[in-house]
């Protein structure tokens, strides 16, 4: 399943997922975006971060509470960072992913143990490669990698969308994607592969023809209904 729904933020947010029932006004706090952050940097959750955090994807656990959220920390001066927060027994753990970026795709096993998320720059035009944040242990840890730009001539605002995704239990993955060119060239389709659990991907190569999106799941998936639920359909705040 391709997960692309967006959940808009608000100036007033209740940070119950971080600190009980505390509500904070975005205008009254100054969030921290550290210069040293990079993909995988652990970030301590706070009410200040919650005030400026726009949720893109949220996954609800068996107890009905959100097990993790992924979205963008947006500073009023324009700086932003894509981030993931995972609920643990002792509280929430955060991870920075990519500066000046947001999440474009997220794929997860139904039991919540395995996930691959794709972040790309979205300030000043689209990024042409993706930063990958992947976990095989329910976000106890994450590994970071790259899905490179496709092997083609891209214009300034051209980028590859991810159209289908598969990852088996052995860690071998396949992605197909497409580029709709701003200069009017015909749409072209590409294929990329991974052999390390979906962390790093080969440069997407052009396919002779575009194919139907016949696969779209992250294994293992418990149950017969296919891949994980659409995170964007779950309101978190």
Within-domain flag for 237: no
Domain containing 68 equals: 12-222
**pTM greater than 0.85:** no
Burial (0-12, 13-18, 19+ Cβ within 10 Å), 171? middle
Report CA torsion sign: 140, 71, 181, 210: positive
DSSP element (H, E) containing 225: none
pLDDT digits (tens, 9 = 90+) for 187-230: 999 999 999 999 999 999 999 988 765 554 443 333 223 333 33
Q: How many domains does one find in the chain? A: 1
Within-domain flag for 233: no
Within-domain flag for 4: no
pLDDT digits (tens, 9 = 90+) for 70-123: 899 988 777 899 999 988 887 888 999 999 999 998 888 877 788 999 999 987
pLDDT at residue 235 greater than cutoff 60: no
Within-domain flag for 62: yes
pLDDT at residue 132 greater than cutoff 50: yes
Within-domain flag for 78: yes
Cβ contacts of 166 within 8 Å, gap of 6 or more: 173, 174, 175, 215, 216, 217, 218, 219
Q: What is the mean pLDDT of the chain?
A: 76
The percent of residues above 90 in pLDDT, for the chain, comes to 41
Task: Retrieve residue 61's tokens.
Answer: 């656990």
Within-domain flag for 229: no
Q: How many Cβ atoms are within 10 Å of 153's Cβ, its own excluded?
A: 10
Place of tokens 């391709």: 2
Within-domain flag for 25: yes
Within-domain flag for 202: yes
* pLDDT band at residue 69 under the 50/70/90 scheme: confident
């Amino acid at each position: 399943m391709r997960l692309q729904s967006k959940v808009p933020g608000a100036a007033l947010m209740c940070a119950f997922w971080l600190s009980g029932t505390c509500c904070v006004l975005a205008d009254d706090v100054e969030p921290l975006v550290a210069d040293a952050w990079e993909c995988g940097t652990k970030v301590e959750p706070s009410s200040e971060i919650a005030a400026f955090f726009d949720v893109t994807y949220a996954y609800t656990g068996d107890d009905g509470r959100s097990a993790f959220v992924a979205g963008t920390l947006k500073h009023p001066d324009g700086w932003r960072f894509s981030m993931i927060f995972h609920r643990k027994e002792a509280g929430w753990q955060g991870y920075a992913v990519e500066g000046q970026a947001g999440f474009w795709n997220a794929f997860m096993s139904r039991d919540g143990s395995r996930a691959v998320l794709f972040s790309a720059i979205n300030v000043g035009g689209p990024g042409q490669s993706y930063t990958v944040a992947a976990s095989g242990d329910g976000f106890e840890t994450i590994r970071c990698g790259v899905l490179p730009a496709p092997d083609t001539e891209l214009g300034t605002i051209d980028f590859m969308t991810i159209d289908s995704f598969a990852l088996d239990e052995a860690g071998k993955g396949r992605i197909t994607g497409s580029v709709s060119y701003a200069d009017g060239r015909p749409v072209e389709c590409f294929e990329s592969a991974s052999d390390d659990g979906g962390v790093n991907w080969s440069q997407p190569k052009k396919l002779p023809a575009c194919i139907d999106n016949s696969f779209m799941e992250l294994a293992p998936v418990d149950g017969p209904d296919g891949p994980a639920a659409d995170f964007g359909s779950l309101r978190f705040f």
